[in-house]
Amino acid sequence: MHPKSINKNELIPWIEREKECIDTLYNLDFSQEKTKTMYLQKLIEAERMLVDGGYYPGITRSKLAQFIYSKLLDNKIEFPRGDSYYNLFEEDERRGYGTIFNSLSVKSHPPHEFNNSGSCPCGALQWNGVIYLPEPAQDAPTETEQDRIKELADPTEYPSTHYILLTQKNAIEYVKLCREILSKYFDKANPKETTEYKPVIDAAIKDAKTKIKKEKAIFAKIKLARNYADSRKKVTDWEKLKAHILDVSTYNISKVAKMLRITDKQATKTIKDERRKKEIVDNVRWFETIQIKAPRKLKKGEMFTWKIQNWYNEQIIRKNIGLTLKQPFA
């Protein structure tokens, strides 16, 4: 995308927003994932405007994801460099980080150490405050990798992957649509002001407060599914609660770690850490009254089994995004 011809004065509000977001992200605690993501989205929006306006010489939209991540590193701002980061960008902004179907996760880069001439041992260069990274070297794929690439290149061959791909494409188009509407809602010259489209958009959405709760509930279910799909997330909130109870009442931390199939160090960090223990206790206190209505077909005296784990984990996500407790079978 070629830079637009924009008066520098029009970019001032976006420059100020960029600085505000960097300062805020730097001061946020690593556990404040939701707030960090929100300010990162604001930063991305500001950087888009600055890149399109030609504020950064040599930087185009195709390098936006890499450019912003390098800026986060240089400002000592920690953010996981995986799908949670790259999904905030449009497809054409993630140059060199996989296709729409492949995983976008890559290893994080350590902070750059530029010398007086502006060069870093890793091969990166810095000029006028802008960091230029070398293209990653790619080995020729082996025959096995060729077969895998060929298979992944046509996910429509399998109904399940075809469905997943179409869902992903629709989600990306939905993101683009939302972004277009947002860009019309706020004034580009003054991002804190709304435009003449505001009443039209408000009227089209209708009852936004109710729909906000609905979208948050959908987010909770998607977040729960992602937690189960992520093989790296070994300990759920329900397992943390059970582990905490066993630790203070029955077993030592080594036994609890063995039951969770994690190391003693991981268990200590997950359960023994004072901040984590407080989080577990606060979560339990949030559950005041649980109403369980047995199925009508249940006969008198018949046992009723209810698996609490999925329901509990979903409620913790709802709690963290400001929703009320959803009763079982409601």
Residue 98 within any structural domain of the chain = yes
Taking residues 215-240, what's their average pLDDT? 78
Same-domain status, 184 and 125: no
Quick check: 174 pLDDT over 80?
yes
What domain range includes position 231?
A: 208-330
Residue 28 within any structural domain of the chain = yes
Same-domain status, 196 and 174: yes
Q: How confident is the model at residue 279 (pLDDT cuts 50, 70, 90)?
A: confident
What is the structure's pLDDT at 140? 54
Residue by residue, DSSP assigns 58-113 as: T--GGGHHHHHHHHHHHTT-----SHHHHTTS-GGG-TTS--SSS-------PPP-
Quick check: 330 pLDDT over 70?
no
Helix residue ranges per DSSP H, the chain:
8-27, 33-52, 64-74, 83-86, 143-152, 159-185, 198-205, 208-229, 237-249, 253-260, 264-267, 274-286, 309-320
Residue 2 within any structural domain of the chain = no
Q: pLDDT averaged over the chain? A: 75
Residue 132 vs residue 182, higher pLDDT: 182
102 neighbors 135 (Cβ within 8 angstroms):
no
Same-domain status, 121 and 36: yes
Same-domain status, 156 and 187: yes
Quick check: 250 pLDDT over 50?
yes
Q: How confident is the model over 97-133, as pLDDT tens digits?
A: 433 333 333 344 556 666 666 667 666 666 655 566 6
Quick check: 187 pLDDT over 60?
yes
Same-domain status, 243 and 167: no
Residue 173 within any structural domain of the chain = yes
Residue 168 within any structural domain of the chain = yes
Sign of CA dihedral 50, 86, 100, 175: negative
Q: How confident is the model at residue 324 (pLDDT cuts 50, 70, 90)?
A: confident
Q: How confident is the model at residue 285 (pLDDT cuts 50, 70, 90)?
A: confident
Q: How confident is the model over 64-83, as pLDDT tens digits?
A: 888 888 888 888 787 877 77
What is the structure's pLDDT at 102? 36
Residue 3 within any structural domain of the chain = no
Q: How confident is the model over 5-29, as pLDDT tens digits?
A: 455 667 788 888 888 888 888 777 6
Domain boundary among 112, 138, 164: 138
What is the structure's pLDDT at 104? 35
What is the structure's pLDDT at 168? 85
Q: Rounded to whole angstroms, how far apart are CA atoms 237 and 219?
A: 17
Q: Rounded to whole angstroms, how far apart are CA atoms 78 and 49?
A: 23
Same-domain status, 25 and 89: yes
What is the structure's pLDDT at 103? 35
Residue 75 within any structural domain of the chain = yes
Q: Rounded to whole angstroms, how far apart are CA atoms 191 and 201?
A: 17
Q: Quote the percentage of the chain above a pLDDT of 90.
A: 1
Same-domain status, 131 and 213: no
Domain boundary among 206, 238, 261: 206
Same-domain status, 242 and 303: yes
Name which of 59-63, 166-170, 286-290 the model is least confident about: 286-290
Same-domain status, 33 and 131: yes
Q: Rounded to whole angstroms, how far apart are CA atoms 67 and 84?
A: 16
Residue 190 within any structural domain of the chain = yes
Domain boundary among 152, 175, 206: 206
Return the structure tokens found at 59.
């930087």
Quick check: 142 pLDDT over 70?
no
Name which of 32-41, 50-59, 291-300 the model is least confident about: 291-300
Q: Rounded to whole angstroms, how far apart are CA atoms 1 and 185?
A: 23
Residue 161 vs residue 151, higher pLDDT: 161
Same-domain status, 134 and 152: no
Same-domain status, 214 and 321: yes
Question: How many domains does the structure of the chain reveal?
Answer: 3
What is the structure's pLDDT at 101? 35
Quickly tell me which residue has 């991981």 as its tokens: 266
Taking residues 300-319, what's their average pLDDT? 80
What is the structure's pLDDT at 127? 61
Taking residues 141-165, what's their average pLDDT? 65
Name which of 50-64, 197-211, 218-232 the model is least confident about: 218-232
What is the structure's pLDDT at 87? 79
Return the structure tokens found at 178.
């939302």
Same-domain status, 285 and 219: yes
